[in-house]
Amino acid sequence: MRIETTHELIETILEQWAGLIGEDYLGYKGHVYRLFNFCLALHPCTEEEKTKLAIAACFHDSGLWSDRTLDYLPPSISHAAQYLSNSGRQEWAEEIALMIGMHHKVRAYPDRRYPLVEVFRKGDLVDVSLGLFSGGIPRSYIRRVKQHIPNHGFHRFLLKAGGAWVLRHPFNPAPFIRW
């Protein structure tokens, strides 16, 4: 399987967020590309599906930086919807909102109308778990993706952000978790 280390649409979208994301930019960019590659490994995509995955990947965690909150799914969905509206792709809004809104769902996403929602959920889990959960992707491919696309402290950022929540709310799941 091929590893995509550059994609024109991903580069264009993320470039607009670089200033806001700041020192976490390279880490987030790496996460976006690893997630994107894991999704492509999970599902043979048409060009349209690949574009949807690229857009969702760019925006799925954007609310972490724009709103400085762990309840980042609503603002992330809003940023994606705005982008879709501005780019004339409003008809994708429901599907991409589900991809973003359900990407931390603990159980599989059951609605078969939008198979990319489950693909996206699994792809994110593969990267966030550092490959502990493979989603059916060969571990050799996961290792190759991680070698080609550096982490740049992304998981350290996640631990810091998530750890703060756990310390303040030890008996409540983080607001981005979906059952």
84-118, pLDDT tens digit by residue?
Answer: 999 999 999 999 999 999 999 989 999 999 999 99
174 pLDDT above the threshold of 70: no
Mean pLDDT of all residues in 50-71: 94
Q: What is the pLDDT of residue 173?
A: 66
Q: What is the pLDDT of residue 27?
A: 97
Mean pLDDT of all residues in 65-92: 95
Least confident of 46-55, 77-86, 107-116, 165-174: 165-174
**DSSP reduced 3-state for 178:** strand
pTM for the whole thing? Answer: 0.93
Angle at alpha carbon of residue 79, lines to 11 and 68, rounded to 5°: 95
Mean pLDDT of all residues in 23-33: 98
177 pLDDT above the threshold of 60: no
Q: What is the pLDDT of residue 160?
A: 82
114-150, pLDDT tens digit by residue?
Answer: 999 999 999 999 999 999 999 999 999 999 999 999 9
| Mean model confidence pLDDT for the chain | 93
69 pLDDT above the threshold of 90: no
Q: How far is 17 from 1, CA to CA, in rounded Å?
A: 29
Higher-confidence residue of 159 and 45: namely 45
